[in-house]
Amino acid sequence: MKVISIVGARPQLVKLAPVAAAFAGTEHQHVIVHTGQHYDADLSDVFFSGLGIPDPDVHLGVGSGSHGVQTGAVLSALDPVLEAEQPDWVLVYGDTNSTIAGALSAVKQHLPVAHLEAGLRSFNRRMPEEHNRVLTDHCADLLLAPTEEAMRHLANEGLEGRARLAGDVMVDICLQIRDAVLAGKHPAPALPEGIDPAQPFLLATLHRPDNTDDPARLSAIVRSLAQLPLPVALLAHPRLVARAEEHGIELAQGSVHVSRPLPYAGLVSAVLASSGVVTDSGGLQKEAFLLDRVCTTIRPETEWVETLEGGWNHLVPDPHEMAPAEWAALATRPAPETPHGAPYGDGKAARRVVELMEQATPRHT
Ligand code: UD1
């Protein structure tokens, strides 16, 4: 079996790591195509080196652009690659512009598509990712769902025949790196100046267009973080830095200390050192959950609804509209006493992904 993985953005590289490792233990040929959607070293290269992922076989180098420009650039660069490679499967990950472009290029060439992390839904049609994931699920041949909830969404859309419960490959990598961090195999993460990892602090990220692109909203959210009673280590995504600069918003104010995004082991280690997480990232909500840290999510909804059970994750769409004391109490709340279950699987999902792909009969033959 020849499989082409198409990746391009940071969260896809994290998911690729366990999948590449699972393929490495088989006789299958696994080809990695990097679209170049993320190109900064700290959003891309450090994940390959830090997670032991083989270098991409093909790099499309598309870079940033509007949704149409970026998606179109991936599509047109990918067509000749897939045509030449003629894989048995094209494997796309998550919900980025690289995902939908990969799926479209493949199905139009009658190449079977498997979608990893299928069936997630926010039901928020303002999110570019919601369109990417719905459209990808509807054109893919094999839907590798991370959770029972995702399986239900796929069934509701009439896609159960193509859906398989694989579990979540992020559990595989997160727990593996957690164990390495706890065994002292990684250096301490580069936290922002002013954050003492031995003292309580919150770890924060913010990058969703709905939070970053409206200057009034971004400024209000940053002020809410600045007023928190604990130091906040804000790992600033380039989109956040670009929007803040554009609108003259100072990120480093009050409690907020800013630094660049961390490599994966650094992030896991920072979550473990923190007393809690404040974020709008899908991946980080789940990493906080897997690492037993409370998360406060600056969004009106989440695809990872299992994290909400027992209060491990809490949604706060507009922190600036809450009474400051209430917001502070929520963001700095202690971890629930009741441990959470394991709704995201047992850490062996990547192996199952390979098996499910082996078992599935391609539709386009
Ligand atoms: C993308 C995904 C999002 C995912 C996120 C993870 C889409 C629609 N969104 O959002 O689902 O959660 O990745 O990070 O695919 N930039 C750089 N350097 C880079 C990459 C981006 O400076 O290496 C800046 C550019 O100003 C760019 C902006 O960040 O315009 C946004 O990048 P883009 O790839 O369009 O989307 P993300 O916000 O990263």
Is 207 one of the catalytic residues? yes
pLDDT by residue, tens only, the chain of 365 residues = 999 999 999 999 999 999 999 999 899 999 999 999 999 999 999 999 999 999 999 999 999 999 999 999 999 999 999 999 999 999 999 999 999 999 999 999 999 999 999 999 999 999 999 999 999 999 999 999 999 999 999 999 999 999 999 999 999 999 999 999 999 999 889 999 999 999 999 999 999 999 999 999 999 999 999 999 999 999 999 999 999 999 999 999 999 999 999 999 999 999 999 999 999 999 999 999 999 999 999 999 999 999 999 999 999 999 999 999 999 999 999 999 999 999 999 999 999 999 999 999 764 44
Tokens of 156: 């509701």
Domains of the chain: 2-168+345-359 (3.40.50.2000), 178-331 (3.40.50.2000)
Q: Between helices 264-273 and 282-290, what is the axis angle to 10°?
A: 60
Q: Which of 208, 239, 240 to mutate to test the pocket of ligand 1 (most atoms within 8 A of CB)?
A: 239
User: Could you give the angle at the alpha carbon of 148 between the alpha carbons of 287 and 290, nearest 5°?
Assistant: 15
User: Could you give the angle at the alpha carbon of 327 between the alpha carbons of 326 and 331, nearest 5°?
Assistant: 120
173: left (phi over 0), alpha (psi -120 to 50) or beta: alpha
**Torsion angle defined by CA atoms of residues 25, 166, 161 and 303, in that order, rounded to the nearest 10 degrees:** -140
Other Cβ atoms within 10 Å of 158 Cβ, number: 9
Shortest-distance Cα residue to atom 17 of ligand 1: 238
Nearest to 266 by CA among 338, 347, 191: 191
**122 in ligand 1 pocket by Cβ < 6 Å?**
no
Tokens of 151: 């399986």
3 state SS of 199: coil
Residue 63 Cα to ligand 1 middle (Å): 9
